[in-house]
């Protein structure tokens, strides 16, 4: 995938004055990490608004600040509770020579014969894996090929996933990732049996006595 580069500017504005920044088209953010002192920055709101929806939590982006490039992971996005617009973003600057831990999203690919031929239902039971590796080996996502699921009841577990040798999986290898279950049984309409006449009369009498 093409490298994502975001141009940032330092900011001194904090607190309530940040609202004015947003109105001017700048998005407040912060860069932090083991190797740097936290830096308050801003980005062009329109530019970052077009890019971030397609950036995964395990995808390295390049932050260009004062001509210096920092590689970072997007850690947290603060959204407006009503409008859903971006209010603030946190970026964790990483060292390319130090291993890191990250959660990587799972993406189902292919077509399961159990679903196609037997009307099975594909149930994803895990959305991401925790891994550890050097940043350059960190996958943006992990594809899970479901074409190997051929019968109802077939499943894939973490131990079945194949990742690069440089990537260590920290999630329990026994955890299930995806399962094919049987189609739901059609609901059978219950046949209503008319209640015996004496019961109806008795119920009617009870209702009359209540008035």
What are the tens digits of pLDDT across the range 142-174? Answer: 999 999 999 999 999 999 999 999 999 999 999
What's the full length of the chain, in residues? Answer: 211
User: CA 72, 75, 81: angle at the middle one, nearest 5?
Assistant: 140
CA distance 139 to 5: 18
CA distance 91 to 55: 12
What are the tens digits of pLDDT across the range 77-126? Answer: 998 888 888 899 999 999 999 999 999 999 999 999 999 999 999 999 99
Q: What is the pLDDT of residue 1?
A: 56
Go through the domains of the chain in sequence order and give each one's CATH number.
5-93 (2.40.240.10), 100-181 (2.170.120.20)
pTM given for the model: 0.76
pLDDT(73) > 90? yes
Q: What is the pLDDT of residue 145?
A: 97
């Amino acid at each position: 995938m093409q490298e994502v580069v975001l141009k940032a500017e330092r900011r001194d504005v904090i607190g309530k004055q940040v609202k004015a920044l947003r109105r001017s088209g700048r998005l407040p953010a912060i860069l932090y990490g083991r190797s740097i002192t936290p830096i308050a920055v801003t980005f062009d709101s329109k530019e970052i608004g077009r890019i971030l929806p397609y950036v995964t939590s395990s995808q390295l982006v390049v932050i260009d600040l004062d001509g210096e490039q920092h590689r970072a992971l997007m850690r947290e996005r603060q959204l407006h509770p009503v409008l859903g617009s971006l209010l603030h973003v946190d970026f964790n600057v990483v060292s390319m020579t130090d291993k890191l831990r990250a959660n990587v999203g799972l993406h189902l690919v292919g077509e399961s014969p159990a679903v196609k031929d037997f009307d099975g239902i594909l149930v994803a039971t895990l959305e991401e894996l925790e891994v550890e590796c050097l940043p350059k080996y960190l996958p943006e996502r992990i594809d899970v090929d479901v074409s190997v699921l051929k019968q109802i009841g077939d499943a894939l577990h973490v131990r079945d996933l194949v990742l690069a040798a440089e990537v260590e999986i920290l999630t329990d290898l026994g955890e299930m990732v995806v399962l094919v279950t049987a189609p739901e049984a059609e609901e059978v309409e219950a046949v209503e049996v008319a209640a015996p006449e004496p019961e109806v009369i008795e119920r009617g009498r009870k209702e009359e006595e209540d008035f």
